[in-house]
Chain A
Amino acid sequence: MTRRLNFVDAFLWAFRLMVVAVVVWGTVGTLRLGRYTGEQWMDFVVFGLAQGGIYALIALGYTMVYGILRMINFAHGEVFMSGAYTAYFVAAPLAASGFLNRHPILSLLLLVAVAAAVSLGVAVLVERVAYRPLRRAPRLVPLITAIGASFFLQYAFRGLYGSGFKAYPEFELFKGEWQVLGVGILRTQAVVLVSAAVLMFALYQFVMRTKVGKAMRAVSEDKDAAALMGIDVDRIIVLTFAIGGAAAGAAGILYALVFKQVHFFMGFVPGIKAFTSAVLGGIGNIPGAMLGGLFLGVVESVGPALFLDGLGIRAPYQLKDVIAFTMLVMVLIFRPQGILGERLAAKRA
């Protein structure tokens, strides 16, 4: 058996070495070229952190649902989209009436609340229709309904709201830069980073400190034992979807702040990247998802310039998603238990 596997192992080692070689060679090349200043690197990192914060917020939903149900909520990217897209129809009139810039903080909170509420509703609905009836079906079955639900949601929103991009209104307050420790940071990115951090902290406290959070952790440890302890498992599952959905909705607003537009297909790529973050951090592990998100965001933001520019590749920014997807594939192949090495890895198979 081990002898047969050798050829596969050799292939995998070659794959690993190739990626390492690209990274090292590219980095050396880029640094030798010296095309970017320290300030530019700093910008990359900050942008990466802001984006990573968004991924992390979405990743919470994946990781919590996986922790409890051992399934990938493939439609989570669409849950993220639905909140941001719907909140656009609140943001646009607010901006038109001038309220948005008169009370920017209040407006932002309002938008986050709307988006979170919508995403929460969608997440719970998806759970009710597509997952709950199949709780005891073979593993592939809920994955297929999840793909179906994701597809349905995309095209439902396309049907309802149209297929074009919608330009999100901008906050006057968040234009320009803030000086932090002598470094200029784009205000939007600072706002996104701080909001993401606050939300994640709140969520973490909720899961770790409250009774419901404890129940959630209990259910993810052992569903049957939790039921014996008097926990309503179905209610906890709905709650998990609800909280994950709300976090995704809030992330949707932050995403709209950074990219300034929404679209019915906008959930797909962030969804996959958030999933990558969740796996990177060890799926089922909440702080892991946060770390994974930030890590992925930074690598993806710095990567094209650092790894690819030095190789003389044309237009490396087009390959930004290739870096993210390569990380996804690599982490699934080489370290499915994630960076933090969660015990779940042994159980899943």
Chain B
Amino acid sequence: MWRVGLVFGAVACFLSLAGLVEALHARWVVDGWVSAGQVLLGSLLVGAGAVSARRARTPGVGRIGAGLVAGATAGATLGLLVWLSRQVDLRSVFVNASPTLLQLLSAGRAPDEAWLGWTLLGIVLGGLGAGAAAAPRRAVGPLATGLGTAVGLALFQELVLLVLQPEGLAPVRDWLFVAGGGPTVQGAAVVFAVATGGASVWQAVRARPSRVAVLPPRVARAVWVGVGLAALAALPVAGGPFVAQVLVIVGLYTLMGLGLNLEVGLAGLLDLGFVAFFAIGAYTVGLLTSVGEHGIAHWSFWAAVPVAVLVSLVAGVVLGIPVLGIRGDYLAIATLGFGEIVRLLVLSDALRPWVGGSQGVLAIPKPVLAGFEFSGPQHLYYLTVVASAVVAFVAWRLQDSRLGRAWMAIREDEDVAEALGINLVSVKLLAYGLGAAFAGMGGAIFAVMVGSVFPHSFQLLISIQVVALIIVGGMGSIPGVLVGSLILIGLPELLREFGEFRFLVYGVALVAMMLLRPEGLLPAAAQRRELRALEEGAEPVAVAAQEAVVEGGL
């Protein structure tokens, strides 16, 4: 249990020194009372208590004791950091060990006082966490939802303020938020209460054994789809250009995600050079439509898009042919190599006369349809939504087609698939080609969104982001792609202030998803069945084998 505490304490120290705590400290959760940074540190202490209580073998009081010890250890570890910061100049090594951070951590007290304070706080919060872990889910769940909503209100404050902008809503605004500050005490309290109440009501409704369907399922579904579509259409109007811009970016990643999903999710071909096709789509549109120096055709956007999609498709096939015979992790590295080669070539002086080198292709006009110019993000949003919808429809139809089933077969076992008469060459090339075509479509929209194309927009980072969003959403699941890109792309874009920490979160998300929920947040049905079968059926074998290894080791 003290080890759990130590781990949580170390995580708290790391997050403090990495600057996340200080960045969050700038946000009030309750104005003048608690900041988001303090909430983060506190929740780590609570987490230490909860995890250690869960792991404790003895029931009842022993669990609470474990929580107390873990909380105390975690608190003491943080206290140690405070003490250390007084002894040596941490800032000479850790750039984020700023006076503000140290002020926050020590609360202006002397080091040994701060140390004692953290330990005591750790005991209290650790005990709280242990209590929460021991208490029935029914009671803790709504409370957690309430707390989460209150923190969310603070983090997405600007968004909420944006919605409350109209003059008529000024009283609500002033009641919820301190002008120029965070949520007011009564605002946070009411939001917390409403969310908690709502969550418990929802829980009660769901728990009722006999749910009478008000509407036949088909109608209910149609209503939901209608509501969803209306919300989709209204979002950029309600949220303004900033929200629209974020949604366009989410849409572009969704396009790429849908493409890569064909390769990774369905066919099991991990492609780390995927951004190359996004780049090829963007450059094709750029070169064909640009009115600047590098433009070659001055086409309209609508004529260039099909060409861009086609060029990407061909590129996908051409880069797919050489890697046909490579599997698994070697494939990932080989595609990564291709992606980097494309980027380096575009960046180099050797190709500068044609694609503009590091300065890129400039002056790409916005698309014009029947006299209407898609100028701002609010217009491009609709373009992106339509493109994503078309692509999602194609992906959805492909998924259950003969081709989709062939992809899934080669994902499971290439040799068996081949023995069943699946032509590996054409099936794989179709996966590469179609995946690349989807990404090319995204690239085309990206080109007109930015109005210029640079090689620096096409880093490996993007490929990894797309892989991450597929993993988080659930491999092979189309709604999962949307959910993944909303969470991994949309949230960080909205929380611009904490933008530099997003990649840290991606790394953690990739590892954590694989460890805790390998099927993703919204898994495809087949994947879910399979993993469940694996858990039930295959587990004993694995455990037995592991035991054999352990015994052998003794």
Tell yes or no: B354 within 8 A of A by CB: no
Cβ of B135 to closest chain A Cβ, rounded Å? 28
Tell yes or no: B336 within 8 A of A by CB: yes
- Choice from A15, A139, A147, A156 contacting B504 with Cβ under 8 Å: A156
In the bound complex, do residue B322 and residue A159 qualify as a contact, i.e. CB atoms below 8 Å apart? no
In the bound complex, do residue A152 and residue B18 qualify as a contact, i.e. CB atoms below 8 Å apart? no
Which residues in A have their C-beta under 8 angstroms from that of B501?
A: 155, 159
Interface secondary structure of A, over-half rule: helix
The CA-CA distance from A158 to B20 in the complex, in Å, is: 12
Knowing A233-B553, A315-B349, A318-B347 are in contact, say whether A147-B326 is a contact too (CB < 8 A): no
Knowing A4-B425, A147-B467, A227-B549 are in contact, say whether A333-B514 is a contact too (CB < 8 A): no
The CA-CA distance from A89 to B330 in the complex, in Å, is: 36
Interface string of A141-159 (1 = CB under 8 A from B): 1111101111111111011
Cβ of B99 to closest chain A Cβ, rounded Å? 17
Which residues in A have their C-beta under 8 angstroms from that of B348?
A: 314-315, 318-319, 322
Tell yes or no: B93 within 8 A of A by CB: yes
Tell yes or no: B344 within 8 A of A by CB: yes
Tell yes or no: B509 within 8 A of A by CB: yes
Interface string of B496-517 (1 = CB under 8 A from A): 0000110110111111001100
- Choice from A71, A140, A223, A272 contacting B549 with Cβ under 8 Å: A223
In the bound complex, do residue A8 and residue B268 qualify as a contact, i.e. CB atoms below 8 Å apart? no
In the bound complex, do residue B514 and residue A148 qualify as a contact, i.e. CB atoms below 8 Å apart? yes
9 A–B contacts from the bound complex (CB under 8 Å): A139-B329, A152-B511, A155-B504, A159-B20, A279-B330, A326-B337, A332-B333, A333-B323, A333-B325
Tell yes or no: A292 within 8 A of B by CB: no
In the bound complex, do residue A332 and residue B326 qualify as a contact, i.e. CB atoms below 8 Å apart? yes
Tell yes or no: B54 within 8 A of A by CB: no
Tell yes or no: A321 within 8 A of B by CB: yes
In the bound complex, do residue B327 and residue A349 qualify as a contact, i.e. CB atoms below 8 Å apart? yes
- Choice from A71, A137, A155, A333 contacting B326 with Cβ under 8 Å: A333
Among B327, B336, B338, chain A packs the most CB atoms within 10 A around the CB of B336
Tell yes or no: B24 within 8 A of A by CB: no
Closest to A139 in B: B328
The CA-CA distance from A231 to B336 in the complex, in Å, is: 37
Knowing A12-B321, A319-B344, A328-B333 are in contact, say whether A159-B511 is a contact too (CB < 8 A): no
Which residues in B have their C-beta under 8 angstroms from that of A134?
A: 514-515
Interface string of B310-335 (1 = CB under 8 A from A): 00000000000111111111101110
In the bound complex, do residue B341 and residue A326 qualify as a contact, i.e. CB atoms below 8 Å apart? yes
Closest to A130 in B: B511
B residues sitting closer than 8 Å to A (CB atoms) are: 14, 17-20, 92-96, 268, 270, 272, 321-330, 332-334, 336-338, 340-341, 344-345, 347-350, 352, 423, 425, 460, 464, 467-468, 471, 500-501, 503-504, 506-511, 514-515, 518, 542, 545-546, 548-549, 552-553
Which residues in B have their C-beta under 8 angstroms from that of A142?
A: 514
The CA-CA distance from A340 to B468 in the complex, in Å, is: 36
A residues sitting closer than 8 Å to B (CB atoms) are: 4-5, 8, 11-12, 15, 71-72, 89, 129-130, 133-134, 136-137, 139-145, 147-156, 158-163, 223-224, 227-235, 268, 272, 275, 279, 313-316, 318-319, 321-322, 325-326, 328-329, 332-333, 336, 348-349
In the bound complex, do residue A315 and residue B553 qualify as a contact, i.e. CB atoms below 8 Å apart? no
In the bound complex, do residue B344 and residue A322 qualify as a contact, i.e. CB atoms below 8 Å apart? yes
Cβ of B438 to closest chain A Cβ, rounded Å? 21
- Choice from B337, B340, B467, B552 contacting A228 with Cβ under 8 Å: B552
In the bound complex, do residue B423 and residue A159 qualify as a contact, i.e. CB atoms below 8 Å apart? no
The CA-CA distance from A15 to B350 in the complex, in Å, is: 20
Cβ of A243 to closest chain B Cβ, rounded Å? 19
Which residues in A have their C-beta under 8 angstroms from that of B500?
A: 155, 158-159, 163
- Choice from B17, B337, B345, B515 contacting A145 with Cβ under 8 Å: B515
In the bound complex, do residue B507 and residue A329 qualify as a contact, i.e. CB atoms below 8 Å apart? no
The CA-CA distance from A42 to B518 in the complex, in Å, is: 52
Knowing A144-B514, A318-B350, A319-B348 are in contact, say whether A159-B507 is a contact too (CB < 8 A): no
Which residues in B have their C-beta under 8 angstroms from that of A140?
A: 268, 270, 328-329
Cβ of B399 to closest chain A Cβ, rounded Å? 19
In the bound complex, do residue B329 and residue A148 qualify as a contact, i.e. CB atoms below 8 Å apart? no
4 further contact pairs, Cβ within 8 A, besides A145-B510, A332-B330: A130-B515, A147-B467, A160-B17, A161-B95
Knowing A8-B425, A148-B514, A318-B350 are in contact, say whether A329-B337 is a contact too (CB < 8 A): yes
In the bound complex, do residue A329 and residue B270 qualify as a contact, i.e. CB atoms below 8 Å apart? no
Which residues in A have their C-beta under 8 angstroms from that of B96?
A: 159-160, 162
In the bound complex, do residue B350 and residue A328 qualify as a contact, i.e. CB atoms below 8 Å apart? no
Cβ of B466 to closest chain A Cβ, rounded Å? 12
Closest to B15 in A: A159
In the bound complex, do residue B334 and residue A333 qualify as a contact, i.e. CB atoms below 8 Å apart? yes
Knowing A144-B510, A152-B504, A319-B350 are in contact, say whether A329-B334 is a contact too (CB < 8 A): yes
Which residues in A have their C-beta under 8 angstroms from that of B19?
A: 159
In the bound complex, do residue B511 and residue A156 qualify as a contact, i.e. CB atoms below 8 Å apart? no
In the bound complex, do residue A160 and residue B508 qualify as a contact, i.e. CB atoms below 8 Å apart? no
- Choice from A159, A275, A313 contacting B333 with Cβ under 8 Å: A275
The CA-CA distance from A333 to B335 in the complex, in Å, is: 11
Cβ of B101 to closest chain A Cβ, rounded Å? 12
In the bound complex, do residue A148 and residue B330 qualify as a contact, i.e. CB atoms below 8 Å apart? no
In the bound complex, do residue A136 and residue B546 qualify as a contact, i.e. CB atoms below 8 Å apart? yes
Cβ of A203 to closest chain B Cβ, rounded Å? 24
Among A141, A151, A223, chain B packs the most CB atoms within 10 A around the CB of A151
Which residues in A have their C-beta under 8 angstroms from that of B352?
A: 314
Among A89, A133, A137, A332, chain B packs the most CB atoms within 10 A around the CB of A332
The CA-CA distance from A143 to B503 in the complex, in Å, is: 18
Cβ of A233 to closest chain B Cβ, rounded Å? 6
Among A8, A155, A231, chain B packs the most CB atoms within 10 A around the CB of A155
In the bound complex, do residue B350 and residue A313 qualify as a contact, i.e. CB atoms below 8 Å apart? yes
Cβ of A102 to closest chain B Cβ, rounded Å? 22
The CA-CA distance from A140 to B501 in the complex, in Å, is: 26
